[in-house]
Amino acid sequence: MQYLTAGESHGRCLLAILEGIPSGLKIDESFINSELQRRQKGYGRGGRMEIEADKAEILSGLKNKITIGSPLGFKIENKDFTIDSLKEITVPRPGHSDLAGAIKYNQGIREVSERASARETAIRVTVGAVCKLLLKEFNIEILSWTLSIGKIKIKFSPQLSDLTSSRKILLDSALNCPDTEAEELMLTELDKAIQEGNSLGGIVEIVATNLPIGLGSYVDYRKRLDGRLAQAIMSIPSVKGVGIGLGFKATQCFGSEVQDEIFYNSGEKKFYRQTNNAGGLEGGMTNGEPLVLRFGLKPIPTLRSPLKSVDIISKKEAGATVERADTCIVPAAGVVGEAVVAFELAKAMQEKFGGDSLEEMKRNYENCCKEVKKF
């Protein structure tokens, strides 16, 4: 399973091709577009979200809204497609790909900015939504919520035993934050950043439930699922760190405090753990517990109160370029994180259970579950 995206921030459209989805999967376009709408929400988003009303068009790979096994083609039209008339950028933004990209490709900063823009993540959310539909066929669900904005942290995380409540919190909250008091403080911090022309980063948590044992592998470093998930998350603009389970907190503990003891339920004929410090992954493989990962995003580099930079033409000091941008992308990044995680999990499911059709894939999955219970 693989996908490729194309398009620029102010180009005519964003495109993607997704290959490897089995035949027989019903595609719910309203679900895909609801995911795109989620990505556009969140306090602190910029003016672009008021212009665009993202809606995906499926160009290929379907008959009567059912996948036929061939590559799926997607398109999201940009209402603002002024790329040819936008003014050139000569002052790179600190923290952006502007300068390094211009030097690498021997071109202007505008050309770099157009492709490096987080606008590209809209089409990745489309790809991830299709992967979510495939995972739902196996009762696998993926959720995300905001853990912090700037220095403000929530006091608790949603309980994994109450995912229905977590989803309500996720969809009803302006910040995807399951702590009303913390959210109010976050909103105050964001208002301050907006007034000062500044930006804020934060931390997002993602949980995937009902994963079977054995996705990924330890036999080849390229197949380790933790590595693949980390790369996928790190490919999201502004992400600067990823942790699985306890993450970096594990470095401050004794081994006896970190490792999850193993138990066996003879009635259900299954192994289980009472803790999940490993975050559902051991040796690069899923172990049957919920997948839990967190990632941190730096504040975005486009500031209305610009930092010092240098004009690449005159080589003189100048204030960094000011472009239309968000103040905070953390809640939206959670939706993008869900999408890239969904793709990696769907890919791992396809690798383990195979199948050119959904029916065949489900049959292989059910046979594997029976074998696991015999162990």
Q: Looking at residue 173, what is its pLDDT?
A: 53
pLDDT at 369: 92
For the chain, domain boundaries:
2-374
pLDDT of amino acid 45: 76
Residue appearing with tokens 């050119």: 356
pLDDT for 307? 94
**Span 76-99, mean pLDDT?**
93
Per the CB < 8 A criterion, the answer to whether 153 and 202 are in contact is: no
CATH number of 2-374: 3.60.150.10
Residue 94 has what pLDDT? 95
- Average confidence score pLDDT of the chain: 91
Query: Would you give the distance in Å from CA 350 to the centre of its chain?
Result: 20
With 80 as the cut, is the pLDDT of residue 161 above it? no
Average pLDDT over residues 163-185: 60
Residue 168: pLDDT over 80: no
Q: What is the pLDDT of residue 171?
A: 41
What was the pLDDT predicted at 229?
98
200 pLDDT more than 60: yes
pLDDT attached to residue 176: 66
Q: How confident is the model at residue 375 (pLDDT cuts 50, 70, 90)?
A: confident
pTM as predicted: 0.92
Lowest mean pLDDT among 154-163, 172-181, 314-323: 154-163
Q: Which residue has the tokens 């489309």?
A: 126
Average pLDDT over residues 222-235: 98
pLDDT at 175: 67
> 37-51, 96-110, 229-243, 328-342: which range is least confident on average?
37-51
| CA distances (Å), origin 186, targets 87, 215, 236, 294 | 35, 37, 22, 19
Asked whether the predicted pLDDT for residue 159 surpasses 60, the reply is no
CA-CA distance, 158 to 167, in Å (whole number)? 9
Q: What does the alpha-carbon distance between residue 38 and residue 217 come to, in Å, rounded to a whole number? A: 33
**Alpha-carbon distance 265 to 269, whole Å?**
6
144 is written with which tokens? 């995300």
> Measured between alpha carbons, how far is residue 338 from residues 58, 142, 165, 347 in Å?
20, 6, 18, 14
Rg (CA), the chain: 22
Task: Identify the residue whose tokens are 């942790």.
Answer: 243
CA-based nearest residue to 130, from 170, 71, 214: 71
- pLDDT, tens digit, 9 for 90 and up, residues 50-76: 667 899 999 999 999 999 999 999 999
Half-sphere exposure in the Cβ direction for 268 (13 Å, CA): 7
What local confidence, expressed as pLDDT, does residue 164 receive? 40
How large is the average pLDDT for residues 165-174? 44
